[in-house]
């Protein structure tokens, strides 16, 4: 695998995180860099750590990971998406949903499970695994931070409809993961 292929892998892995970051940005009231950078950091760290963990596990647990990763990602994204839709029905004077440690941890985990499986394939990668995971993390950080800013630019005009859209996006990502696993679609 050459570095150009690695960059495309990193971009591909970061697309779920980007979609979730846009969804998060849709719900942010103020266009704050803190939210964008924080979201980028969560997703970037997880997208870097998961391939490293996959690399460490090697092919020993590949069959277990392949059998359950899609269900785990689907379940987490479904629960988080349904919660966002539920929160969209709160009164306008209610506090905005928080994006604390627990929620961001779950979102980061859900969007990076596929990176664990990719890490297993890095066992045959002839380049530096450390540079590979740093590239994946940096690209995901950048794309995710931009996603929050993009979502926020549109979300301030859409309010509760944005939360519904964000929840639906997360659920659709989960369904996409299942459909890809079962070979119904190939993206």
Give a yes or no: residue 85 inside a domain: yes
* Residue 177 domain-assigned (yes or no): yes
Question: What radius of gyration, in Å, describes the C-alpha atoms of the chain?
Answer: 17
The answer to the question of residue 66 being in a domain is yes
For residue 74, being part of any structural domain is answered with yes
Does residue 186 sit within a domain?
Answer: no
Q: What is the pLDDT of residues 101-139, one digit of tens each?
A: 888 998 898 888 878 877 877 776 667 889 989 999 999
Q: Rounded distance, CA 11 to CA 33, Å?
A: 22
Domain count, the chain: 1
Residue 187 lies in a domain: no
- pTM, entire model: 0.71
Question: What percentage of the chain has pLDDT greater than the value 70?
Answer: 76
Please check whether residue 121 lies inside any domain of the structure. Answer: yes
DSSP 54-119: HHHHTTTTHHHHHHHHHHHHHHHHHHHHHHHHHHTTS-TTSPPPP--HHHHHHHHHHHHHHHHHHH
Please give the residue range of the domain that contains residue 140: 3-181
Write out pLDDT tens, residues 34-66.
889 999 999 999 999 999 998 888 767 666 666
pLDDT at 156 (0 to 100): 57
Q: What is the pLDDT of residue 83?
A: 76
> How many angstroms separate the CA atoms of 78 and 100, rounded?
18
Give the whole-angstrom CA distance, residue 50 versus residue 182: 23
Sign of CA dihedral 18, 24, 26, 32: negative
Is it the case that residue 19 has pLDDT exceeding 80?
Answer: yes
């Amino acid at each position: 695998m050459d570095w150009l292929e690695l960059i495309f892998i990193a971009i591909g892995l970061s697309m779920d995180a980007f979609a979730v970051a846009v969804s998060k940005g849709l719900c942010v009231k103020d266009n704050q860099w803190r939210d964008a950078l924080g979201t980028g950091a969560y997703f970037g760290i997880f997208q870097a750590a998961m391939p490293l963990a996959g690399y460490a596990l090697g092919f020993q647990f590949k069959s277990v990971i392949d059998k359950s990763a899609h269900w785990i990602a689907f379940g987490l994204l479904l629960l988080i998406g349904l919660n966002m839709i539920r929160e969209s029905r709160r009164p306008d004077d209610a506090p905005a949903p928080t994006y604390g440690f627990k929620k961001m941890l779950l979102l980061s985990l859900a969007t990076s499970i596929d990176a664990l499986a990719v890490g297993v394939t890095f066992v045959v990668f002839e380049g530096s695994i450390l540079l590979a995971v740093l590239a994946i993390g940096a690209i995901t950080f950048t794309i995710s931070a931009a996603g929050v800013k993009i979502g926020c630019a549109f979300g301030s005009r859409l309010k509760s409809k944005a939360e519904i859209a964000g929840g639906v996006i997360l659920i659709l990502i989960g369904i996409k993961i299942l459909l890809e696993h079962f070979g119904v679609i190939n993206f």
